[in-house]
Every structure is written in structure tokens, then in C-alpha cells.
Structure 1
Amino acid sequence: MYGFIWRILPGGLPGKIIGSLVLVAGVVALLWFVVFPLLEPLLPFGDVTVG
């Protein structure tokens, strides 16, 4: 899969490096701002009690 993505990215080596960094940043932003906030209520990390 990574080879396929590398082959379809435009440009030479600098363009492919920049394109892959943009793709990684997009995936991280999607996870950080969309996926993790949707999953946060389902995680037990907010149920902390001190006895």
C-alpha cells in the first residue's frame, strides 16, 4: 500500500516527500479533531475516583 501511495504522488523526490508529509499531517489532524473526540465518551478515562 505504501508503495502504491509513493508511486501515485506527483513530482520527483522532493514532491513525493512533501506530499507524504501533507498526507501524514492530514491523517493526524483527522484523528485528532474528528475521531478521538467522537470516541472520548466511550473511554473510561474520565471515571476516576479517589477514595
Structure 2
Amino acid sequence: MAVINAFATVLAMITFLGICWWAFSRGRSEANREASMLPFALPDEQVTEKKD
């Protein structure tokens, strides 16, 4: 049973490191830059005053 747990742990660690490597690779730098600017690309909210 311990061998299965060890194998699952190693597999999960390799998967995690692979995702980190993919996310921060040079090929993704432009996509990451675009994604980081998305919150600033939203139109500004306009405040309208109600006249009573």
C-alpha cells in the first residue's frame, strides 16, 4: 500500500511541476502579459446622478 501512495505522490508532484513549468515558460509570456492586462481593459463605470 505504501508503494501506491509513494507513486501517487511522485506523480502528483511531477504534474504540479509540469504545470508550473508550462505556465512560466517563455512561449506563454505574451499570453500571460495579455491576461495580466485584462482587468484594466474593462470600460470605466459611469456614475449617473438621479435628479429628484
Give me the whole-angstrom Cα distance separating, in 1, the residues matched to 2:6 and 2:17. 16
**TM-score with structure 2 length normalisation?**
0.53
The structure where helix makes up a greater share of residues is 1
**TM-score normalised by the chain length of structure 1:** 0.54
Note the aligned Cα RMSD (angstroms).
Answer: 1.8
Aligned match of 1:36: 23
Structure 2: any 5+ residue segments left out of the alignment?
Answer: 41-52
When Rg is computed on C-alpha atoms for both structures, the one with the higher figure is 2
Q: Percent identity?
A: 6
Task: Report how many aligned residue pairs link the two structures.
Answer: 35
Structure 1 residue ranges without an equivalent (≥5): 1-12
